[in-house]
Structure 1
Amino acid sequence: ATHMSAPEAGLEPVVSPQTAVHDGASHELPTKLLLSLAVILIAMWCAVTWLPWHVDGSVFSVSVHTITEFGAIVAALLVFSVAWHARSPGQPGNIVIIGCGFLAVGLIDFGHTLSFKGMPDFVTPSGSQKAIEFWLMARYTAAWTMLAAAIRPIQPLHSGWPRYVLLVAALLWTAGMYAIELLAPGIWPSTFVDGHGLTAFKVLAEYGVMALAATAAYVFMRRKSADLAYSTNDLCAAAIITVLSEACLTLYGSVNDVFILLGHLYKVVAYYFIYRAVFITSVRDPYRRLSEEIEERQEAEQRAAYLAYHDVLTSLPNRELARDRLNQAIADAKRHQKQVAMVLLDLDHFKNINDTLGHAVGDRLLQAVADILTRTLRQTDTVSRPGGDEFLMILKDLHDADAAAPVVNKLIEELAKPIEIEGQELSISASIGIAMAPNDGEEFEILLQRADTAMYRAKAEGRNTYRFFDDRMNAESVEKLSMRNGLRRALELKQFVLHYQPQVDLATGRVFGAEALIRWQHPEWGLVPPGKFIPVAEDSGLIVPIGDWVIEEACRQAKEWLDKGYPPLTVAVNLSALQFKRGEVEQVVSQALACSGLPANQLELELTESVLISDVESVERRLKGLKALGVKLAIDDFGTGYSSLSYLKRFSVDKLKIDQSFVRDLERHPDEVAIVRAIIQMAAGLGLNSIAEGVETLGMMQNLRALGCEEGQGYWFAKPMPAAAFEDWLTHTLDKGTLARVTEAA
């Protein structure tokens, strides 16, 4: 699918055969099946023993005996072959013991087969006695082998050579059994008497095999719950069936009757279970686990490939996959004379959600937005998440740019609907920028940069809207980039200058201070006003060192005028919100006062209301630090932000500065008069001074003075001037005693 390929996936650890643990319970013969088989085998034994149709005739011929024995021999040799050659990592030595032991069992069973009554002579004459002797040697070899495997600790052999020791021991044991039987047959007690049946020695010997097999079965059963590397159920079953086999071999009266047939069949079944246990441990389980290191690795590789091109949180395509989709879409568009829209969406104020409700809610919201976008767009379009709270969409097969507008409007409409996250209804909006291919470019990075430029224009123009990229935006972006780069060196190259605008006592005309206003004297652009470069400086964080320089320079200049004999002037300096929050204002102010020698009460710091309402405790602590230095504090642009009596009292400010937007329409709009009067009266009631900025006409000045405003600044008195020009202006004013315009108007 174009939008979302799969649910959220994560890489899982790959288990290697060396560390994988055998899950015995899942690969052994099921317990119910084992019990059913045991019941059947025991029932067969009981039926042969007790039921009326018990047969004593010759049902077990030489040919049948040969077939069953060769089946048992093949099974025994398979046990050895599998245990010896299929060496899985960490194979326990118990399996090798079983393999080598049953190599000997198979070889001895071969001697038993050749010695059965009716077979051609094998070195010595064949007969019941000889066959039984080989039988007992094989049975004891098998029983001791199983008991050794049962009681030995489950661990691999320490090195390669013990395997060969076991193999040589098995072959030497077999050779010894053959030598005893063929070279010294007379050492055996009688085991079978024709016409009479089994001797006591034979029966007692079979009971010995049964006891060993039963002990092995008990140990295997006790180990069933342990985390073993082979099937204890299968080996336990083999030992129990061996007991039944040997029980049959204590009851026959003729080597051809049904008991000896049943005993041999039980033996073949027991060998099968032993083979099954060895095969599962040495072949099936390792290959199953290997098939699973392969499947898991393939899945891990697929997941890694998926994650390389998808966002983990939303499962949307990521930036790289979006790049590929864009290239495909542009290629298709060129063939069909169509256009492609790259749409960059950024959630408005998403940080507030993370900060107030937590990142978990923020993640859920991002997932919900991803779902909204994928449901709203066509299946042929692409929705991706490059990161953060941004989403990138590629709209294919558009006739022109106008075709993208309805789609984007629909997105804004859908996002405006409340979204419920963990029982809370959240309202969100988004700012969207659109770049069109091929008109705005064909390369991914260029289109993304231009969509980003358009998106920031949408944010700057109120958010919750969209803007198409145009060349004007590109020119502005280039200008902003150039300005940002230039700002980085402006301080070093001393390109900043301060202009000073006088502040006047409206009642007396006395000049009591000046506001320091920064200008950028660029070698190519000329004098750059603050409205152009201050926003760039704030965006880049350069406003902090620039603001520090302004404080230092203003203090130095004010002290210079004081040293020249001018009356003490209060110099006012604006503090940006970023400078106040991130900078070290107290330290900078203290150092500037110390270096310049300016009295602290001649420095006034102007802060906007927005600075004061965030993180009140921290703001109060820092303002107290500034007040402790002796400087004055003023609230700039008062009335345009979050005016509050509580913080005015709490923060011990000295002055309110009435914003020029109220002063400008003072003569034409009575409502503005009411606002200004309220601010002036509030300041007076709190013991604060009030100063109006933007005083540009005589009427403005007269109205402000009539309303009780104490101070003013603006073009009616003087424009901002460089330090030298301000000094000349101040000299001329002092020569007249007071500011002429004020006294004349009075």
Structure 2
Amino acid sequence: MIEPAPLTSPSAATRSTRPAAGRTLFGGLALLLVLVWLSPWTVPLKQSEVLFSAASHTIFELFAVVVAGLIFAVSWNAYQRERAGNTMILACGFLAVGLIDLAHLLSYKGMPDFVTPAAPQKAIAFWLCARFVAALTLLVVALRPWTRFRSDATRYLILGGALALTAAVYVLQLYAPEIWPVMFVPGQGLTSTKLMAEYGIVALLLVPLALFWRAPAAEATPLLRATAITILSELCFTLYANVNDIYSLLGHLYKVIAYGYIYQAVFVASVREPFLRLSAALRQQRLAEERLHFLAYHDPLTELPNRLMARVSFRDAVARANAGRVALVFIDLDNFKQINDSLGHLQGDVVLQEMANRLRALAPAGATVSRQGGDEFLLVWSGPPVAGALGSALDMLLQRLQEPIMVAGQELATTVSAGIALSPDDGADFDILLQKADTAMYHAKHQGRNTWCCFAPHMLSDAADRLDIRNGLAQALQRDELLLYYQPQFDLASGRMIGVEALIRWQRPGHGLVSPARFIPVAEECGLIVPIGAWVLRTACRQMAEWRAAGAPHLVVAVNLSALQFGRGNLEQDVRAALEQAGLPAGWLELELTESILLQNPDQVLAIVQRLRKLGVSLSVDDFGTGYSSLAYLKQFAVDKLKIDQSFVRAIDAQPDDTAIVRAIVQMAHSLGLKTIAEGVENTAVLDLLGKLGCDEAQGYHYARPLPAAEALPFILAAQAQAEAQAQAQA
């Protein structure tokens, strides 16, 4: 049985769920009693001595005894420990009521002797005892919370108590009738004691009536009706003039109806409710199985088909296409990691769901949309006639997909890149085509994103090149193939050189000097950036210590950090070890962080940054303005410097928008007590404009290209000498 909630005041909605049929029946029974009581046409019925005969009484009471026995039998045999004990209280209570009703039946006027002669006094005494036991049983059930018994033995104790009470009533009435008050006087009728007893029963029943009315439990509804109709029954037995009139008939009729509702309550709790619960469990199991089957072929987040279903769709599309083409269109969101980093993965999921809905709505006719995982989707398109039609459809698709998405109260303009592989042109196997579509998609990203590319054989060589770089990088550290170049940084106000930025290069045998733009992204993808970053720290600190010993002025060496170094490496230990091994003061080292690092796991990053600051190193934010900036993070992390990205600096003298952006960054930095350094300074005009805008420092080809270590020291010493000469000249 589903255990009901504690008895609390139900809402109007709860009351409205009670069937109207029960209210109608009670209203009809109450109206019938009022009509009989008030109508002058019922006077003969109220005075009749034959209307309710002994035979009729026997039938009604025997039916009531049978129902009471069913209440006990159904509840007792369907008992389970986890069910509420109130059902057992009803069962045992009405077993006692049924047995006492049986004694009342056998004691009725006109029945054979039941130990002692039948008499109205004897029958009334048994009747009142049965009614009091019924009222007390309903009261206990209404007052007790619908919770299970602590022990199985409790129901046997209740049964024993019910049987003991029944035996006591039998013994006291049959063998000590003189102790009972007089409730009937021949020739006069009912005594005031009998009437007061009936009214006492009514008053007692009013308490469970109120409690059952307030109870939202399913079992309380039939018990409410039973209690209300029992009250009508008891009122009948305060009105009758003799045991054969219409009031006696109505009273016994109402009692039988009330027993029926009590049987309904225990039947619901003991039989129907478990059956419904089993049916619900089976239905839930079936739904769970259907859900598992669905999830086997669909993505749980977007409910799109998954890769397994995409394979099936491809096979079916090939079968339908006959000699026609089937296209696999591999779609990947551009810069989706930045959305996760800045807004969180929950909001990232919202973006994925919205993109899935758009793809589902915008997919060309005959295409199946699936999610491959992460931010990757796949279209299986059956029968694109020519490349031109395919291209037009994809142009429209990409244009619609870049429409802004509302996430967390802000608009996000998300673009996608797509790669296409065609069957049978590029192969017939699904996995091979999927790989080629993926390769074409990466080629589209390398072309600037927000575009699509059809697979071409040369793209495989690009993928092979990335694999070759990855394999080569794995050995580059051991083979001492990595080296650092240093780009000077200058103070705009004084013209003094104030530091260098360490820039990694790869001198790969047989390939020459490999650009970091080629191998750094690969190192990030495969995780090699962590040991490479540790090597850069050690090398840069050792080199700066050597320059310091050679007479270089106080400078800082700026080292770029990767997000992976915060998440997977031992960054604090690496920095401490690099400084200690080189013998370099911490004030000579500057660490450059990207904005994505500040937004990724901010609590963890903040703890690391605070420990780094305690070491004495300075911190700057690299490429500021190109990511998802947050002033709150800048204040929280307490960095020292903002590096203005070169994309805003190179054409600052010709692009008013860039000028406005740089001015805003400088003003904001100064308001936060931060310095600014501009990278990408290539001519005097740009340098002069930066000075007017209030920028503090600069680096770029105007001063020097990145220098190998052997050339950097002479440059540093020459810059120092020039600065000192200018200072003396000004003095």
Does TM-score exceed 0.5, indicating one fold?
yes
Once residues 80 and 656 of structure 1 are traced to their aligned partners in structure 2, the CA distance between those partners, rounded to angstroms, is: 90
| Aligned counterpart in structure 1 of residue 449 of structure 2, from 434, 445, 463 | 463
Paired residue type of 2:234: V
The alignment yields a C-alpha RMSD, in angstroms, of 5.7
The residue number in structure 1 matching 2:604 is none
The residue number in structure 2 matching 1:72 is 64
Instruction: Say if 1:350 and 1:389, in contact at 8 Å, map to a contact too.
Output: yes
Instruction: Say if 1:72 and 1:106, in contact at 8 Å, map to a contact too.
Output: yes
| Aligned counterpart in structure 2 of residue 154 of structure 1, from 144, 148, 153 | 144
Once residues 219 and 404 of structure 1 are traced to their aligned partners in structure 2, the CA distance between those partners, rounded to angstroms, is: 78
**CA 1:378/1:21 → structure 2, altered by over 3 Å: closer, same or farther?**
farther
**CA 1:365/1:556 → structure 2, altered by over 3 Å: closer, same or farther?**
closer
Which runs of no fewer than 5 residues in structure 2 stay unpaired?
489-499, 590-619, 653-657, 716-731
**CA 1:198/1:83 → structure 2, altered by over 3 Å: closer, same or farther?**
farther
Question: In the TM superposition, what is the alpha-carbon distance from 1:411 to its structure 2 partner?
Answer: 0.5
Once residues 677 and 144 of structure 2 are traced to their aligned partners in structure 1, the CA distance between those partners, rounded to angstroms, is: 87
Paired residue type of 2:131: A
Once residues 153 and 345 of structure 2 are traced to their aligned partners in structure 1, the CA distance between those partners, rounded to angstroms, is: 61
| CA-to-aligned-CA distance 1:86-116 (integer Å, 9 cap, x gap) | 3255555554343223323323433444555
Question: In the TM superposition, what is the alpha-carbon distance from 1:217 to its structure 2 partner?
Answer: 1.4
The residue number in structure 1 matching 2:224 is 233
| Aligned counterpart in structure 2 of residue 86 of structure 1, from 78, 81, 89 | 78
| CA-to-aligned-CA distance 1:358-400 (integer Å, 9 cap, x gap) | 8887665544433322121146533234555443333234567
The percent identity for this pair of structures is 31
Instruction: Say if 2:439 and 2:463, in contact at 8 Å, map to a contact too.
Output: yes
Instruction: Say if 1:77 and 1:102, in contact at 8 Å, map to a contact too.
Output: yes
Q: What does 1:3-14 correspond to in 2, within 5 Å? A: none
Once residues 65 and 590 of structure 1 are traced to their aligned partners in structure 2, the CA distance between those partners, rounded to angstroms, is: 106
Q: Indicate the SS of the match to 1:431.
A: strand
Whether 1:327 and 2:312 are equivalent positions in the alignment is: yes
Question: In the TM superposition, what is the alpha-carbon distance from 1:144 to its structure 2 partner?
Answer: 2.8
Instruction: Say if 1:75 and 1:271, in contact at 8 Å, map to a contact too.
Output: yes
| CA-to-aligned-CA distance 1:324-379 (integer Å, 9 cap, x gap) | 23234225415734544332323334566677788887665544433322121146
Question: In the TM superposition, what is the alpha-carbon distance from 1:218 to its structure 2 partner?
Answer: 1.9
Instruction: Say if 1:586 and 1:625, in contact at 8 Å, map to a contact too.
Output: no
| CA-to-aligned-CA distance 1:163-206 (integer Å, 9 cap, x gap) | 3344344445545655666677788888778xxx5555x43453
The residue number in structure 2 matching 1:611 is 623
| Aligned counterpart in structure 2 of residue 242 of structure 1, from 213, 233, 250 | 233
Q: Indicate the SS of the match to 1:432.
A: strand
Instruction: Say if 1:346 and 1:390, in contact at 8 Å, map to a contact too.
Output: yes
The residue number in structure 1 matching 2:392 is 406
| CA-to-aligned-CA distance 1:11-61 (integer Å, 9 cap, x gap) | xxxxx9358668985676768446514522422541578735535252334
The residue number in structure 2 matching 1:394 is 380
**CA 1:640/1:589 → structure 2, altered by over 3 Å: closer, same or farther?**
farther
Q: What does 1:612-651 correspond to in 2, within 5 Å? A: 639=650
Question: In the TM superposition, what is the alpha-carbon distance from 1:122 to its structure 2 partner?
Answer: 4.8
The residue number in structure 2 matching 1:544 is 533
TM-score for both structures, normalised by structure 1: 0.66
Q: Indicate the SS of the match to 1:223.
A: helix
Q: What does 1:52-451 correspond to in 2, within 5 Å? A: 52-54=43-45, 56=48, 58-87=50-79, 91=83, 93-114=85-106, 116-117=108-109, 121-122=112-113, 129-130=118-119, 133-151=122-140, 153-155=143-145, 156-174=148-166, 199=188, 202-204=190-192, 206-224=194-212, 225=214, 230-231=220-221, 233-248=224-239, 250-252=240-242, 255-285=243-273, 287-288=275-276, 291-292=279-280, 295=283, 299=287, 310=298, 315-317=302-304, 321-334=306-319, 336-350=322-336, 365-378=351-364, 380-386=366-372, 388-398=374-384, 404-417=390-403, 427-437=413-423, 447-451=433-437
**CA 1:546/1:132 → structure 2, altered by over 3 Å: closer, same or farther?**
same
| CA-to-aligned-CA distance 1:648-667 (integer Å, 9 cap, x gap) | 998989999765xxxxxxxx
TM-score for both structures, normalised by structure 2: 0.67
Determine which structure has more spread, i.e. the larger CA radius of gyration.
1
| CA-to-aligned-CA distance 1:411-451 (integer Å, 9 cap, x gap) | 11322455667987654432112234566567766655543
The residue number in structure 1 matching 2:469 is 483
Whether 1:39 and 2:30 are equivalent positions in the alignment is: yes
**CA 1:76/1:493 → structure 2, altered by over 3 Å: closer, same or farther?**
same
**CA 1:159/1:587 → structure 2, altered by over 3 Å: closer, same or farther?**
closer
| CA-to-aligned-CA distance 1:672-715 (integer Å, 9 cap, x gap) | xxxx563587699999999996xxxxxxxxxxxxxxx8x8889x
**CA 1:481/1:19 → structure 2, altered by over 3 Å: closer, same or farther?**
farther
Once residues 619 and 20 of structure 1 are traced to their aligned partners in structure 2, the CA distance between those partners, rounded to angstroms, is: 49
Paired residue type of 1:80: F
Paired residue type of 1:263: G
